[in-house]
Structure 1
Amino acid sequence: MKRSSIFAAALAASSLLGIGAQAQDSTVTITWQMWGAPNDTQLWQQLADLVTRQYPDIKVELQLSGWTDYWTRLPVLAASGQVADIISMQSMRMPNFYSLLEPLDDYVKDGGVEVADFETSIMAGLSYDGRLYALPYDVGPWMVFYNRDKFAAAGLKEPAKDWTFDDFKAAAKALTKDGTYGYGTQAFDFIAGPIALGAEYFNADNQFDLTNPGFVEAFGKYVDLTAKDKLSPVFASAADASAASGRFASGNVAMYIDGPWTLLTAQANADFEIGTAPLPRGNDRSRFITAGSGWGISATSQHKDAAFKALQVLTGPKAAEILGSAGRALPARLAEQTYWYDVAAKSVSGTRDTLQYMFAHTTPFRINEKWNQFENLVMQYVPVALTGDTEPKAVLADIQNQLP
């Protein structure tokens, strides 16, 4: 009897242990690759914890790396089969990395995701060849940041939402004095700016066509602000291509072009009142490109259904509220954008109206698999035009020739 009792007790214990093991095994760990600075860890972990709160059987393991390291490591991890279940993706890099991601159209349909809840332009930006590969968490257009104090001191009216390039140039001239430039140029201006003027850098086959007359003219207008009119300092190299934000914060330039993702930082660094305005238009109606980021599911993930559940939480209303309230991102979710406006744009008068105007006048951001190569070539070659040593058309021809 004693031996039987011991055996029965052992059998019961092993059964309990088995049940425990099964319960433990039923928990799925989803890995999530994300970029960010070390001080972003707490914010992203807060979103990861949201997933487990809603789905106790899903744990999200955050793998954070710096922005540059992220894009360097992603293809290496994919090639070695170590890519995470959830991959973070920027819209401008989608053509180069969409093959790593699982198409989401059926998941979105079956999961009841309301596509209309998101800003239209970024849903298109996170798609490729008509298929959706990621759900967005943020979005934003390139816009003009300006020093309101300098505008007032120069007796200038603040920019209208539909101001023209001539208006922009006239303001830059009036603001260029006493060691201050009216405008601080940087590399991406030569892409977003010409598009706002109505130019196109692609042909009908979605291939680069940088030497078409319309793009050459619009590109040249932005070059001339520096090369001929001396309204902006030259950025000397790719490493210096984003120096305008620092010059703006120091009061050395009165206007520069950037996105809403930098507004909170700009306010923290400036000791003057900041204003925002749309990019100047050409002869026709305003039009603007937007970019943003989101999260997709690895095509090789072994936990795709669980990953999509996690994805719905990460891009859901509560997550958008958290990111918006932290000023970290202008949410791609339309209803939650108000949280960002209440924090990041609280002391920047008119920003809500500016961005809503710009979202109402967006045009598709056309990119292909050569986009990142093109962007790097712009950073490399534009300074040659800004010094006046080479004509804009020749610079564009040089870039075009390196895009086989």
Structure 2
Amino acid sequence: MKRRYVLAMVMMGLLMLAISGVTPAAQKTLTVMLVQDYDKVLWTPDAEQFMKDHPDVKVEIVLQPSGYTEKILTMIATGMAPDVILESCGGNMLEWLVDDVLLDVAPYIARDAAFFKDWIPEYMMRSYYKGKSFGVVQPRAGLYPIWFNRRLYDAAGLPYPDGNWDFDTFRAHMRKLTVDRDSDGVPDQYGWHHSWKTWVPFLYNFGGGIQDPNDPSIILLDHPKTVEAMTFMQNLEFVDRVATPDHRFNSSRTLEAFASGKAAVTLRSATWYGSLPESMKDGETLGIALLPSNLSTPYAMTTISAFAIPKDSKNHDLAFELIKYFVDEETQRRCKVENMGVVVNHKINREFFPSGLPVWNHDKVITQSVMCPMFSVDYMMPDSATDIMSAMINAVVRDNELPAKIAVDQYVPQIREIMKDFLAKLAK
């Protein structure tokens, strides 16, 4: 009897809803597209909290490990645009912004200025072009200081680099740190090791570069200082013989060379500490320093990605609110604890100082670095132009096939030709 009564009441309620024309509110769905499972694990707690705070919204995190860019464009073209994407702050994002594929979020950031007040300006500006912004940079801020082996410095009788060194001093250090112990003509220990993208900071800190960090329409690859920097790097290995051979700009070879003591100095991410062997974490071996530079203030090297909102998303406001959950202070603290690197909110970085890491000058160098002008290795150019640029650098620095000036004269016109359409868009 009781069950019949309850059923009758339910039927009566549905009938009344039908008569009145009122239907239960439909749940909105926000789709977030990511590449790596690690990213999904990192941001799932934020998505869950967002859904608790917004019970009428469902957040779906979709992984696309391969063909990520193509999948995004296909979804947009077929009217199924995701609401939030995560992409490196490079040419794709900038081109999508000027092509109106992405929403300009600068007005949202300006509206919520208090939320972003402690963020490092040099990171935030990576998503801006001519007053528009293609996204909100994610918490994990790539930062690349010089790492050096203090024990090898001590053995060479050299002072530790204090951040005020130019490339003449750098070269002198690398020569002193290169040692042929058995006098067979082949060094057993080298001063320098070229790693992933380590050639880029040389270009900028000589006074040249790839593109103007604040105006990617200005190409610097054929600047005289760029040629000078390329020649310097080439000479480190093939004239001075102070750089490890066969490096291939490879990160795993860098770890092997540095951990074994074959190389005394290299450039790696601030998060590299976690990858180094425990034997080096004794408080007497590791040190970091600012990049050498011939400029009054050195450039710092960064790489970073940003959350963006496709313009065809049906939920711009909600999508931006979700992004704020992905980058809020709680998430930044979580990122700081997990990777021991740098986050874009410097208030959070300072909360973890003193860091207690057994790395000489760690906290000071991190603090100095985030105040330096920055360039990004997320190039503001099409992939085909990037491929040619890499071939040019390899021909000079890695393989010693061409002098720098000849390589620049041969390759840079090809890069400029490829970039004509891209640069024309930026000029609008």
Query: TM-score range with shorter-chain normalisation?
Result: 0.7 to 0.9
Q: After TM superposition, give the deviation of residue 254 of structure 1 in Å.
A: 1.7
Report the Cα distance in structure 1 between the residues aligned to 2:277 and 2:52, rounded to whole angstroms: 34
Q: Partner of 1:281 in structure 2?
A: 293
Give runs of aligned pairs for residues 116-265 of structure 1, distance below 5 A.
116-136=117-137, 137-177=139-179, 178=181, 179-186=188-195, 188-202=197-211, 206-235=217-246, 240=250, 243-265=253-275
CA contact (8 A) 2:147 2:286 kept: yes
Q: How many residues align?
A: 395
Q: Deviations over 1:268-322 (max 9, x none)?
A: 7966732211110115332334332221212111111111111111111111111
SS at match of 2:396: helix
SS at match of 1:146: strand
Q: Partner of 1:88 in structure 2?
A: 86
CA contact (8 A) 1:33 1:87 kept: yes
SS at match of 2:157: coil
Gaps of 5+ in 1: none
Q: After TM superposition, give the deviation of residue 121 of structure 1 in Å.
A: 0.9
Q: After TM superposition, give the deviation of residue 326 of structure 1 in Å.
A: 1.4
Report the Cα distance in structure 2 between the residues aligned to 1:142 and 1:9, rounded to whole angstroms: 66
Q: Partner of 1:397 in structure 2?
A: 409
Report the Cα distance in structure 2 between the residues aligned to 1:84 and 1:15, rounded to whole angstroms: 37
CA contact (8 A) 1:195 1:288 kept: no
**Amino acid in structure 1 at the alignment position of 2:227:** V
Mean alpha-carbon deviation: is it higher for 107-116 or for 305-314? 107-116
Among the aligned pairs, what percent are the same residue? 18
Q: Partner of 2:44 in structure 1?
A: 45
TM-score normalised to the size of structure 2?
A: 0.80
1:354 aligns with 2:356: no
Report the Cα distance in structure 2 between the residues aligned to 1:328 and 1:82, rounded to whole angstroms: 37
Report the Cα distance in structure 1 between the residues aligned to 2:337 and 2:174, rounded to whole angstroms: 34
CA contact (8 A) 1:187 1:378 kept: no
Report the Cα distance in structure 1 between the residues aligned to 2:330 and 2:401, rounded to whole angstroms: 53
Gaps of 5+ in 2: 182-187, 418-428
SS at match of 2:294: coil
When residues 78 and 246 of structure 1 are mapped into structure 2, their CA distance, relative to the original with a 3 A threshold, is farther
Mean alpha-carbon deviation: is it higher for 130-139 or for 254-263? 254-263
CA contact (8 A) 1:146 1:276 kept: yes
When residues 6 and 85 of structure 1 are mapped into structure 2, their CA distance, relative to the original with a 3 A threshold, is closer
Mean alpha-carbon deviation: is it higher for 124-133 or for 141-150? 141-150
Q: Partner of 2:420 in structure 1?
A: none
Q: After TM superposition, give the deviation of residue 354 of structure 1 in Å.
A: 0.6
Report the Cα distance in structure 1 between the residues aligned to 2:211 and 2:10, rounded to whole angstroms: 73
CA contact (8 A) 1:279 1:288 kept: yes
Please, what is the CA RMSD of the aligned residues? 3.4
**Amino acid in structure 2 at the alignment position of 1:131:** K
1:324 aligns with 2:336: yes
SS at match of 2:164: coil
CA contact (8 A) 1:95 1:368 kept: no
Q: After TM superposition, give the deviation of residue 325 of structure 1 in Å.
A: 1.6
CA contact (8 A) 1:237 1:380 kept: no
**Amino acid in structure 1 at the alignment position of 2:320:** F
